[in-house]
Amino acid sequence: MKQALINARILDPATGLDTVGGIIIEDGYISEFGPQVSAATAGTDLVTDCGGKAVAPGLIDMRVKTGEPGSEHRETLETASRSAVSGGITSMVIMPDTDPAIDTPALVDYLKRAGQSHKVLNRIYPAGALTVGLAGEGMTELSLMKDAGAVLFCNADKALTSANLIRRALQYGRGVGAKIMLRPDEPSLSTGSMNASAFAARLGLRGLPANAEWIGLERDLLLAEMTKSDIIVDQVTTGRSLDIANRHREAGNNVIVTAAAHSLFFNELDIGDGSHDPRKAYLTYCKVNPPFRAEEDRLALIEGLKNGSLNVIVSSHDPQPAEDKRLPFDEASFGAAGLETLLSALTTLVAEPHYELDLLTALAAVTCNPADALDLPLGRIAEGVEADLVVFDPETPWKCLRENLSSRSGNSPFDGRLLTGKTVRTMVKGKWVFGPENGN
Amino acid sequence: MTFAYDFSLQHLLGIEGLNRLDIEYLLDRANEFVENRTPEQSLKGKTLINLFFENSTRTQSSFDISAKRLGADVVNMSVQSSSVKKGETLVDTAMTLNAMQPDLLVIRHGSSGAVRLLSRKVDCAVVNAGDGTHEHPTQALLDALTIRRRKGRIEGLKVAICGDILHSRVARSNAMLLHLMGAEVRLVAPPTLMPSGTETWGAHSTHTNMIEGISGCDVVMMLRLQLERMHGLYLPSKREFFHLYGLDKEKLSHAAPDALIMHPGPMNRGVEIDSAITESANSTITEQVSMGVFVRMAVLDALARNLDRARAEASA
């Protein structure tokens, strides 16, 4: 089957291509693209006119939680995928901290198969637990799980505390070609519910000090150096963390640094003290871990995205139902829904002229960079690549309202915010899964 | 008696958010209640619910008496026997109580921000009787009333607040209020119990040396030390704490000669304060309890007026 997208602004972050033209897709694979492709030259009647809107590789989100298996009331693969494609995300890496944890080849296989259901609209890539039961004590079967389809190994939100275990996991993982992502944290310091700061002290909330992130990060990177291993850093939140990573890169370590989109968008003051609006105080939708930090850290992350020290942006989608969020701040759960706002958060930053953030640079952090980090043959517009695409308008303004989100849980810190840039259509493996044809 | 200033708040959630005129209005009003033994029954026909998720004999009974003196019907909700223990969430409890249409809700809760959360879910006036380690506004008001009656003013006084500042809602509310009223607020605590950014609450200085901190002070306000926090992470032992931060004659001799000695209670004698000092003429510890009733009367009276006004506007 041959189809074509025409009249599109083609954006390929991997090559820096930004041109008006078309894309021809044959049997789900991109066969030709460029300015020469038009309705007249496409050679097919199956033509989608993009009306000048942007077309980019579908987004690859490296950090997504659903509730499947174990807490389906939060989210299922199906509801998450619906939410994801409405935000242009065509591939999701699913965190292993489900119930049970994804810590055996059989469970990886289960998740992989569950992701192939026709109701799941995008690609599901399981991440395997790095330690058995995520208990942080013994390594899982990295090689067998990798063969079963795990593209990444991590201990989800729980940082490992044994330096020796981290060392062995990195060493062993390198041997079997397993990608390892570590959460930079020192859990004994991280006992609070928001950034440790004067603002937290005034609100009477216990803090999560940035120092815990730096201690964890230094340790992990020193162990990566010791074992000559590549490492993926799971969500940094401060400028100093980027400096630490850069210092280790200079020493020859291959370090991939990720951050959550919401960390580039919010700072700790968004939790609110009610001084401007009495309804905006102790907002639990802004309770995430790692937490929103100071404004200077938020700006440093944007700067890091521009200068390449921050490589991958994730949604860190973590659906939490109302009963776990409508609680006093200390008692509420951590986590924010983020799939539908990942692309829009980035395009909103791009639309703010004072950040001087380039659209292709921002897109690279959610397309080719995560693809390269995980060795996935995706995230590019190139001949022979499967057609996972997003059509979006980088300038459409819209208001994010949680009741309109298609995630099963609406715990988005973007609730009520104005965003710039919206997904119009999403294609996975050459099929439209979101857009006018799908009733969206 | 003057009502020239329009105190317009719907709830009393903290000292933060009040201005100096609000505080003066409440203190003046409380003072009128002190002078006038038979107050008007301004809460007659109104229902007040005391909802205490943390046990507190003194604050709960103080609100109870205040409300009854003004003629309110008071319901004391004991959380031990309520459905909160059966897993009902805080918000559900609030909605249930709200459906019974009380006029005033007095809440104490162990989590910071919990009272504010509840205030968004109900239609009545809400008074924060202490939320986590955040605020305890009526305590700060009663302390201010005590100081003002004893010293004739608050402006220009040097006040030291000593002890576990980190976990103290009393310290936060007091620091903000006293600063707003023009006092010089000093905080004294061991480094492990001193939070960062206290200047944002209005603290003038912080001290880890108690003698340095209370030198020349007109008021020495001691805080209750949570004994269960004594061992291990924050402090090595009770006796070392008393040695460094317990208020005894020797340390007190560095404060101004007529310095007031205050404590929100309940006291740990021999931990943060020497028994002998609590009975001195400059100790205001029982007087604070008396002032608590009058301050709470002033708060309930003011909020009830605003509630009536808001309801009248809504039905107009």
Look at B113 and A275 and tell me if their CB atoms are within 8 Å.
no
Look at A204 and B91 and tell me if their CB atoms are within 8 Å.
no
**B205 has a pLDDT exceeding 60:** yes
Nearest CA-CA partner of A221 in A212, A234, A231: A231
Q: What CA–CA distance (Å, rounded) separates A105 from A150?
A: 8
Q: Give the pLDDT score at B94.
A: 85
- Strands B125-131, B104-109: pairing kind: parallel
Look at B200 and A198 and tell me if their CB atoms are within 8 Å.
yes
Nearest CA-CA partner of A369 in A14, A16, A80: A14
Look at A202 and B200 and tell me if their CB atoms are within 8 Å.
yes
Q: Which residues on chain B are in Cβ contact (under 8 Å) with A323?
A: 89
> Is B112 an interface residue toward A (CB < 8 Å)?
yes
Is the torsion defined by CA of A173, A175, A178, A182 positive or negative? positive
The string of pLDDT tens digits covering residues B141-173 is: 999 999 999 999 999 999 999 999 999 999 999
Q: Give the pLDDT score at B166.
A: 94
Q: What CA–CA distance (Å, rounded) separates A378 from A369?
A: 10
> Is B195 an interface residue toward A (CB < 8 Å)?
yes
Give the DSSP letter of residue A122: S
Q: Which residues on chain A are in Cβ contact (under 8 Å) with B16?
A: 202, 273, 275
In terms of residues, how long is chain A? 440
Q: What CA–CA distance (Å, rounded) separates A440 from A434?
A: 6
**B84 has a pLDDT exceeding 70:** no
Catalytic residue IDs of B: 58-59, 86, 108, 136
> Is A326 an interface residue toward B (CB < 8 Å)?
yes
The string of pLDDT tens digits covering residues A174-224 is: 999 999 999 999 999 999 999 999 999 999 999 999 999 999 999 999 999
In terms of residues, how long is chain B? 316
Q: How confident is the model at residue A288 (pLDDT cuts 50, 70, 90)?
A: very high
**B41 has a pLDDT exceeding 60:** yes
CB within 8 Å of chain A, chain B residues 39-78: none
> Is A274 an interface residue toward B (CB < 8 Å)?
yes
Query: Two tokens at B36?
Result: 């006038």
> Is A285 an interface residue toward B (CB < 8 Å)?
no
Looking at CA atoms only, how far is residue A285 from chain B in angstroms?
13
Q: What CA–CA distance (Å, rounded) separates A134 from A304?
A: 31
3-class SS letters over A288-333: CCCCCCCHHHHHHHHHHHHHCCCCEEECCECCCCHHHHCCCCCCCC
Q: Which residues on chain A are in Cβ contact (under 8 Å) with B169?
A: 204
How large is the C-alpha radius of gyration of chain B?
19
User: Percentage of chain A with pLDDT > 70?
Assistant: 100
The string of pLDDT tens digits covering residues A43-60 is: 888 999 999 999 999 999
Q: What CA–CA distance (Å, rounded) separates A283 from A355?
A: 26
Nearest CA-CA partner of A300 in A250, A340, A254, A257: A257
> Is B156 an interface residue toward A (CB < 8 Å)?
no
Q: What is the ipTM of this complex?
A: 0.88
Give the DSSP letter of residue B197: -
